[in-house]
Amino acid sequence: MRRMKLGMAAVAVLLAGSLTACGEAGDDDNEGVDVDVKEDAAEDFDEGTRMRELAEEGKVTIGVKFDQPGLGFKGATDDAPSGFDVEMGKILAADLGIDPENIEWKETISDNREPFLEAGEVDLVLATYSITPERRAVVGQAGPYYVTGQQLLVRADSDIDSLDDIRGTEVCSVTGSTSLENIKAEGATPRGFDTYSECVSQVLDGAVDAMTTDGAILLGYAAEQPDDLKVVVEPFSEERYGVGYSLDHPEMCEWINETIEESFENGQWEEAFNLTLGEAGVETPEQPELDPCPAS
Amino acid sequence: MAGSVLFDAPGPRTIARHRIYSVLSVLALAGLAALVVLKLEEKGQFEYALWEPFLTPEYIEALLVDGLLNTLLMAFGAILGAVVFGVLFGVGKLSDHPWVRWPCWLVVEFWRAVPVLLSMIFWWMLLSLGDGPLSPLQCVIIALTLYNGAVLAEAFRAGILAVPVGQVEAAYALGMRKTQVMTTIQLPQAVKIMLPVLVSQCIVALKDTSLGYAIGAPGLTYIGEQIYIEFRVNQVPTAIVLAAAYIAVNLLLTLLANWLQKRYVGEKKVLEVPMVGEAHVTQRT
Amino acid sequence: MEAVFSNFGEYLDAFGVTLALFAVSGLASMVLGLVLATMRVGPVSVLRGAAGLYVTVFRNTPLLVIFIFMAVAAPKLGYTFRFVEDVEIAGWNVSAYFTRACIALTLYTSAFVCEGIRSGVNSVQLGQAEAARAVGMTFLQSMRHVILPQAGRAVIPPLASVQIALAKNTSVAAVFGMAEATATMRAFNNNYADQRVQIFLLFALGYIVIVEIISFGSHMLERRAKVA
């Protein structure tokens, strides 16, 4: 009987909670770059190219991260993700004449980016996707549209300011990431969590000594809480974020590079950056040099 | 009450002593509770902003629809699958043919001994990552089906064996075949006996759906994670809300199990399965 | 196969962490569970209620949510347990992550230990308790000298099951920063994606061995208790 009453009470509390629901948490302004969606874009591409197909279909599927604020993040109540990667995706889609509303966003995690591209689950991947020779062996990667490197995020009062200091400390990053393996090689105890945000919270609470991943991500967090967090150590790796595409459609590379180049020139790249990572206080970086496309 | 046998009906002095114990323990418990509340207060955990998401319609909807509904979907999907798996393998373990019995035994023992999370991650990497045909949610269902199915197989077996031998003998005497005896005499009664076990297994499955968090399957815990990632500071309120939600649902299931027990089995006869939930791994009968 | 064999040291280390988690939280949960069970069958109704509430709460909350409490929410309140890092036991430094994981596992498992012991106590014949009372023993005396030693026998199978569950449940620590067996399987999978099935089977085998040893041990104990 007592159990029953407990259960009833719990249900009553839940119900009361939902009936009197009146909070207004979360914010709705999810505005991104004002992209100029091209009209009759299909005409611009040669018959038989993937770009033409996509433009004619009027739909494109893009893989982005859903858990990295500033780059690709989708909250529990959001309809679409937001972030720098997402904005770059919109710019690319606009060049195909595709409205942001007609983009299908698919969540990709670090483990499934190549397979998604190979299987045609997604047309493009913009998911903090570092260009590496190993990856280029199986998928295409155009760009880079952003260059960053692995760094450390520590509490503002931390003594850690060189790579030597992290020997014997505990460092958080995302389970299965290369950052975590790199830091293990440096002599730190790796602590794998599900998302970067949880790592940040571990750093803030003093549960770990530092967290590590690409500087772009860390700077975003540090800029949000400059009194509590700082980014230390010169980048000890170079991560060049590229746009992933399938090797079945090598013609996409030139188009992606041209579109990125165009966004450098017409200011959309900078605007996209300022609205996302820049919003959090990260300085706009220099425009990176694009890799030439492999001769097809 | 079990306790009543363990101590005498208290006399006046003992009553007085117990009163002192009671007062002391009330004080201790109240002190503990006060400590928790003070700590929460000190750390600003009662601020409205931290709790606001749970009073905002969109987030409540996300918790109930994307969260609770998916959690229930996974739990019941897994239990449905587990019942099928359990009947097949539970009966298989009782087979007269060694070449049926042993493989069934092996499969059941394997999935009982492997952590659900390990199997979940495996199925997810095999079937969902990359071009895999299944969603993480389906992988959660697979892992839970295998585990709970293996436990239920054991319960079915015990349930079948709990059917009085006389009934089986009578059925044979009427000229029924082995399969007939199993499907018309033993299984229906076994199902009745093990209904409460089935419901308590639902609770196990429901709790284990939270492991889907590790592979990005939607569910209450996953939505909770999204909420504390989005708002950054309300981990404590989120954890409290999550726990409360699971407890509420599980208590409802417990009520159901008790009712079924009373309705179909009677108060006294609780089916003795070699530890439901977590089993005695090897069956040495 | 060679994914595991060429990294066999890492495989063993991983199961070492799993075993350490199991050993520490197994012991701690037995102690806390025994205390709870005593409260639960004792004469003080307030304590009975408190233990009952504890069991209801922790039995119905998923272990993962308890881990969220310990690993994600508790640090927000200032409980990081980093002070344990100054403690050194036989050359081993205890980490705060390990401590928090053990606390989460202990809190959860104790509720089941309590229920296991309670059912064992209930299985002791009424006459025994009555006889103990007749010779004038107090509640704690009769528990200690009469009930618990006999309940011990009946308690072995359910407690063994609880401990087996605990051994498997240590896998949840993988999600919260512990590089134990399940986390290591995941890492191996990232590096050797083509050997997923073999890797899984080898890690499963590790757990099966642990589970079988506990199960075998409990059978031995049970047999000895019967003879005595």
Q: State whether B76 and B194 are in the same domain.
A: yes
Cβ contact C211–B281 (<8 Å): yes
The count of domains in chain B is 2
CA distance B22 to chain C (A): 6
User: Has residue B22 been placed in a domain?
Assistant: yes
In chain A, at which residue ranges do the beta strands (DSSP E only) sit? 60-64, 67-68, 72-73, 103-107, 124-125, 140-148, 150-155, 170-174, 189-193, 210-214, 229-232, 239-245
User: Does residue B54 have a pLDDT over 70?
Assistant: yes
CB contacts under 8 A, A 23-42 vs B, are 23-26
Phi and psi based region of residue A103 (left: phi greater than 0; alpha: psi -120 to 50; beta: remaining):
beta
CA distance B276 to chain C (A): 9
pLDDT at B281: 35
Query: Rounded to the nearest 10 degrees, how much is the dihedral formed by the CA atoms of A102, A105, A106, A107?
Result: -170
pLDDT at B277: 33
Residue in B with minimal Cα distance to A195: B229
Give me the domain span that covers residue B140: 49-265
CA distance A39 to chain B (A): 33
Q: Which residues pair with A296 in a beta bridge?
A: none
Which residue, A123, A132, A283, A292, is CA-closest to A215? A283
Cβ contact C82–A202 (<8 Å): no
Q: Name the least confident of A181-185, A199-203, B127-131.
A: B127-131
Cβ contact B53–A109 (<8 Å): no
C141 shares contact with chain B (CB less than 8 Å): no
Average pLDDT, integer, range B74-97: 91
pLDDT at B269: 57
Q: Shortest CB distance from C96 goes to which of A3, A194, A207?
A: A207
Cβ contact C190–A172 (<8 Å): no
pLDDT digits (tens, 9 = 90+) for A203-256: 988 888 999 988 888 887 887 777 888 888 888 888 888 898 888 888 888 888
pTM: 0.81
Domains of chain A: 41-147+240-280 (3.40.190.10), 150-232 (3.40.190.10)
Q: State whether B53 and B32 are in the same domain.
A: no
Average pLDDT, integer, range B83-105: 90
Is the peptide bond between A144 and the residue preceding it cis, with omega within 30 degrees of 0?
A: yes
Q: State whether B23 and B56 are in the same domain.
A: no
CB pairs below 8 Å between B and C: how many?
Answer: 185
pLDDT at C21: 94
Q: State whether B9 and B95 are in the same domain.
A: no
Average pLDDT, integer, range B244-269: 82
Q: How confident is the model at residue C41 (pLDDT cuts 50, 70, 90)?
A: confident
Q: State whether B82 and B101 are in the same domain.
A: yes
C207 shares contact with chain B (CB less than 8 Å): yes
Q: Name the least confident of A185-199, B76-90, B255-269.
A: B255-269
CB pairs below 8 Å between A and B: how many?
Answer: 99
User: Does residue C198 have a pLDDT over 50?
Assistant: yes
H-helix or E-strand containing C35? helix C8-41
User: Has residue B280 been placed in a domain?
Assistant: no
Q: State whether B141 and B238 are in the same domain.
A: yes
User: Has residue B276 been placed in a domain?
Assistant: no
C204 shares contact with chain B (CB less than 8 Å): yes
A112 shares contact with chain B (CB less than 8 Å): yes
Cβ contact A176–C76 (<8 Å): no
Cβ contact C179–A206 (<8 Å): no
- Total residue length of chain A: 296
**d(C-alpha A65, C-alpha A119), whole Å:** 18
Cβ contact B60–A197 (<8 Å): no
User: Does residue B283 have a pLDDT over 60?
Assistant: no
pLDDT at B284: 32
Interface-testing mutation among A2, A112, A134, A175, with chain C (most C C-beta atoms within 10 A): A175
Q: How confident is the model at residue B275 (pLDDT cuts 50, 70, 90)?
A: very low
Q: Does residue A71 or residue B5 have the better pLDDT? A: A71
User: Does residue A57 have a pLDDT over 90?
Assistant: no
**d(C-alpha B59, C-alpha B50), whole Å:** 13
Average pLDDT, integer, range C56-64: 94
CA distance A22 to chain B (A): 6
Residue in C with minimal Cα distance to B37: C77
Cβ contact C190–A176 (<8 Å): yes
Q: What are phi and psi of C89, to 5 degrees?
A: -115, 115
pLDDT at B276: 32
Other C-beta atoms within 10 Å of C153: how many? Answer: 17
pLDDT at A11: 52
Residue in B with minimal Cα distance to A112: B130
Q: State whether B33 and B128 are in the same domain.
A: no
User: Has residue B26 been placed in a domain?
Assistant: yes
User: Has residue B32 been placed in a domain?
Assistant: yes
Cβ contact A207–C95 (<8 Å): no
The ipTM, to two decimals, is: 0.89
CATH number, domain at B100? 1.10.3720.10
User: Does residue B282 have a pLDDT over 50?
Assistant: no
pLDDT at B273: 53
CA distance A191 to chain C (A): 4
Q: State whether B82 and B217 are in the same domain.
A: yes
Pull the structure tokens for residue B234. Answer: 């309300």
Cβ contact C168–B115 (<8 Å): yes
Q: How confident is the model at residue A196 (pLDDT cuts 50, 70, 90)?
A: confident
DSSP letters of chain B? -THHHHSPPP-HHHHHHHHHHHHHHHHHHHHHHHHHHHHHHHTTTT-HHHHGGGGSHHHHHIIIIIIIIHHHHHHHHHHHHHHHHHHHHHHHHT-S-HHHHHHHHHHHHHHHHS-HHHHHHHHHHHHTSTT-SS-HHHHHHHHHHHHHHHHHHHHHHHHHHHS-HHHHHHHHHTT--HHHIIIIIIHHHHHHHHHHHHHHHHHHHHHHGGGGGGGT--SHHHHHHHHHHHHSS-HHHHHHHHHHHHHHHHHHHHHHHHHHIIIII-SS-----S-SSS--SS---
Q: State whether B30 and B53 are in the same domain.
A: no
Residues of chain A with Cβ-Cβ distance to B51 below 8 Å are 23
What are the b/e assignments for B1-36, b being 16+ CB within 10 Å? eebebbbbeeeeebeeebeebeeebeeeeeeeeeee
Residues of chain C with Cβ-Cβ distance to B68 below 8 Å are none
Q: State whether B81 and B157 are in the same domain.
A: yes
Residue in B with minimal Cα distance to C168: B115
Instruction: Evaluate whether A266 touches A24 at the Cβ level (below 8 Å).
Output: no
What are the b/e assignments for A31-52, b being 16+ CB within 10 Å? ebbebebbeebbeebeeebbbb
Cβ contact B131–A121 (<8 Å): yes
Average pLDDT, integer, range C30-45: 89
Residues of chain C with Cβ-Cβ distance to A175 below 8 Å are 175, 183, 186-187
Cβ contact A24–B56 (<8 Å): yes
On the CB side of A255, CA atoms within 13 Å amount to 25
User: Does residue C220 have a pLDDT over 70?
Assistant: yes
**d(C-alpha C63, C-alpha A126), whole Å:** 35
What homologous superfamily is domain C2-227 in, according to CATH? MetI-like (1.10.3720.10)
Q: How confident is the model at residue A283 (pLDDT cuts 50, 70, 90)?
A: confident
pLDDT at B154: 87
User: Has residue B77 been placed in a domain?
Assistant: yes
Cβ contact C175–A194 (<8 Å): yes
pLDDT at C209: 94
CA distance A267 to chain C (A): 39
Q: What are phi and psi of A178, to 5 degrees?
A: -65, -30
Q: Shortest CB distance from B130 goes to which of A3, A25, A115?
A: A115
pLDDT digits (tens, 9 = 90+) for A123-180: 888 888 888 888 888 888 887 888 888 889 999 888 888 888 888 888 998 887 778 8
Average pLDDT, integer, range C147-166: 87
Instruction: Evaluate whether C14 touches C183 at the Cβ level (below 8 Å).
Output: yes
User: Has residue B272 been placed in a domain?
Assistant: no
pLDDT digits (tens, 9 = 90+) for C72-120: 888 888 887 777 777 776 666 678 889 999 999 999 999 999 999 988 8
Which residue, C11, A28, A23, is CA-closest to B52? A23
Kindly list the partner chains of chain A, i.e. chains with 3 or more CB atom pairs below 8 Å.
B, C
User: Does residue B3 have a pLDDT over 50?
Assistant: no
**d(C-alpha A200, C-alpha B138), whole Å:** 31
pLDDT digits (tens, 9 = 90+) for A7-54: 555 555 555 544 455 666 665 455 566 677 777 767 777 777 888 888
Q: Does residue C216 or residue C225 have the better pLDDT? A: C216
Compute CA distances C153 → C114, C130, C158, whole Å: 15, 19, 10
Instruction: Evaluate whether C225 touches C152 at the Cβ level (below 8 Å).
Output: yes
- Greatest mean pLDDT among A150-164, A277-291, C57-71 lies in C57-71
Average pLDDT, integer, range B158-168: 87
C128 shares contact with chain B (CB less than 8 Å): no
Q: State whether B108 and B133 are in the same domain.
A: yes
Which residue, B84, B113, B67, is CA-closest to B212? B67
pLDDT, mean over chain C: 87
Cβ contact A23–B55 (<8 Å): yes
User: Does residue C30 have a pLDDT over 90?
Assistant: yes
**d(C-alpha A132, C-alpha A3), whole Å:** 58
CA distance C228 to chain A (A): 39
Kindly list the partner chains of chain C, i.e. chains with 3 or more CB atom pairs below 8 Å.
A, B
From the number of C-beta atoms within 10 Å of its C-beta (0-12, 13-18, 19+), residue C17 rates as buried
Q: How confident is the model at residue B83 (pLDDT cuts 50, 70, 90)?
A: very high
pLDDT at B155: 87
- Give the domain ranges of chain C: 2-227
Q: Shortest CB distance from A7 goes to which of B60, B230, B252?
A: B252
Q: State whether B119 and B15 are in the same domain.
A: no
C190 shares contact with chain A (CB less than 8 Å): yes
User: Has residue B273 been placed in a domain?
Assistant: no
Residues of chain B with Cβ-Cβ distance to A24 below 8 Å are 52, 56
Amino acid letter for position A161: D
pLDDT digits (tens, 9 = 90+) for B203-224: 899 999 999 988 888 889 988 8
C105 shares contact with chain B (CB less than 8 Å): no
